[in-house]
Amino acid sequence: MKIIAVTDDKMETSQLLHTLLSIESSIDAAFLREKSKTDSEVIALIQQLIESGFDSTKLIVHGRTNVASISGIKKVQLPGNDAPLALLKKQYPVISFGRSVHSLDEAETAYKAGADWVLYGHLFETSSKVGLPPRGTDELFQILESLPIPVYAIGGIQPHHLPQLNQGGVAGIAVMSSIFGSDNPDIAATAYKDASHATTS
């Protein structure tokens, strides 16, 4: 099961750079979800990461296909209400796209439009979705049974949830607050990595 760290748009660039480098060995990918930063700032962050030795194949740009294309990044995570997927795939044929979904219907629509993976959430209570009821795992498992593409989960997921999710066939989990909101992001990321390895051993 893959571990994906999702940046929370609360760090300035130098701190974010340091944090991403410190957790790289424990994660399989990183969504760069920096909504408040300009395109040029995200491009600069990507360049600094790569120059510092971060594996560029682990980087996934959130929402900004132009930034990914300019930076040579081959994966983009699209919000649920983003541009039409078929159009983006035609414009950027070398880029793989994931779509954020919140229901089985949305997941099936994304797959039919050409999504290479989907990200479903939020599963459990999380500080980033205060006041919104969690969706739980029932519909997630329906999506897993319905789609032939990788399905990832996000939202309040803790290391102890991984055995249940792995048993259901989830391709991986995406984690934001538990890593980037931690005083020790590297230790937090390692806990997920260890839990992930335990599910497959």
Alpha carbon distance 4, 39 (integer Å): 22
Catalytic-role residue among 18, 122, 160, 161 = 122
Neighbour count for residue 157 (Cβ, 10 Å): 24
Q: What is the separation of C-alpha 193 from the centre of its chain, rounded to a whole number of angstroms?
A: 15
Parallel/antiparallel/unpaired status of strands 117-121 and 151-154: parallel
- Are 71 and 61 a contacting pair, CB within 8 Å? yes
Q: Is 123 left (phi over 0), alpha (psi -120 to 50) or beta?
A: alpha
Query: Known catalytic residue: 160?
Result: no
- Are 143 and 135 a contacting pair, CB within 8 Å? no
Q: How far is CA 160 from CA 40, 123, 130, in A?
A: 38, 14, 21
Supply the residues annotated as catalytic. Answer: 122
